[in-house]
Amino acid sequence: MRSSRKKGLIVAEQSAYRIFDVRHVGKQILSPHMARITFAGEDVAAMATFAPDQRIKLFFPRADGTLPAIPNRPDWYDLYRAVPPRERAPMRTYTIRSLRADQCEVDVDFVLHGDNGPASRWALNAQPGDRIQISAPNANYRGEVGGYEWQPPAGVQHVLLLADETALPAAAGILEELAALKPRVDAFLEVPDEADRLELPSWDGLDLRWLVREGRSGENRAYGDGMIAAANQVELPRDVLSGSDAEALVEPDNDDLLWDRASSATGGFYAWVAGETGAVSRIRTALVKERGIDRRLANLMGYWKLGRERE
């Protein structure tokens, strides 16, 4: 008894991220390709989130139905990695859409892209009571936790937001946060079809464009095409065009996601871009190489990769 209480204390104090045992308690279909699943669990009282793009890891049952059973210990990640890949619970990255720690509940918005991946398949079939595990920030940890990139400069005046449906949960949270400040925002949100557009805040100064891949007139654009066109055309302030080293742009390896963090967001402009990795790479070329925007002002993040499974 004493030793398990001591172990609990160690996890509480030492792990920036900890394991949460949760069960599905609600599902809301937001659109044809998006479902919000509410998870509950006693420990969610100790979950924390620091930004609208706070990332978390979800662990799903294996193909044979075995539930994930990662111990909540400071070395949980090493223990997870020590299991041979075929025997591990599949792990995928998601965003905290809404955390109600006082009610021990957390919402995650899932893109329903088919039954070709363990996460989307689980979300399509999930029933109340189904259990998974989540690794998320530990509210009792006293150091810097990280796991988010949305860190606009104080007094930001102009935000460029480009997101596909996987980054829509984060983008929606970003817009809800900005609604209080009302800066100029150019937001381009790409979704599979017309009915996937969601209700979002609006204010003078927010120019929100939905980019629909399968339009009413039968057009069928490739992932990212709409966002790439927007990156080529959007009006950029002159003072963000600088001599950052565009030649040094490095393409991610086959198995990597592109992940460029803004490093010097001190001016009035800030960009947050996330979506399919190949598309984000072309957006980076358009913004940084062709249009000369200072790459230190932009987060450019591959959230998934076409044709590849992603942990």
- Residues at the interface with ligand FAD (CB under 6 A): 55, 92-95, 109-111, 113, 116-120, 166, 169, 303-310
Helix (H) or strand (E) holding 177: helix 168-178
Least CB distance to ligand FAD at residue 223 (A): 7
Q: Smaller CB distance to ligand FAD: residue 244 or 277?
A: 277
Least CB distance to ligand FAD at residue 305 (A): 6
Least CB distance to ligand FAD at residue 307 (A): 5
Ranges assigned E (strand) in 221-297: 259-260, 269-276
Rg of the chain over all Cα atoms, to the nearest angstrom: 20
Q: Smaller CB distance to ligand FAD: residue 296 or 310?
A: 310
Q: Which distant-in-sequence residues (6+ apart) come within 8 Å of 9 by Cβ?
A: none
Least CB distance to ligand FAD at residue 61 (A): 12
Pairing of strands 269-276, 298-304: parallel
Least CB distance to ligand FAD at residue 245 (A): 25
Q: Smaller CB distance to ligand FAD: residue 4 or 116?
A: 116
Between CA 178 and CA 184 the distance in angstroms is 9
Least CB distance to ligand FAD at residue 201 (A): 19
Report the candidate in 155, 167, 209, 178 with the shortest Cα–Cα distance to residue 300. 167
Instruction: Please identify which residue in the block is written with the tokens 């620091």.
Output: 50
Q: Smaller CB distance to ligand FAD: residue 84 or 307?
A: 307
Q: Smaller CB distance to ligand FAD: residue 110 or 270?
A: 110
Between CA 297 and CA 152 the distance in angstroms is 9
Between CA 242 and CA 268 the distance in angstroms is 14
Amino acid at 175: L
Instruction: Please identify which residue in the block is written with the tokens 């609604």.
Output: 179
Would you give the DSSP letter of residue 87? G
Q: Smaller CB distance to ligand FAD: residue 119 or 288?
A: 119
Count other Cβ atoms within 10 Å, centred on residue 30.
18
**Shortest Cβ contact with ligand FAD: which residue?**
117
Supply angle C-alpha 18, 23, 25, rounded to 5: 130
Q: Smaller CB distance to ligand FAD: residue 21 or 190?
A: 190
Structure tokens at 105: 């509940």
Least CB distance to ligand FAD at residue 143 (A): 21
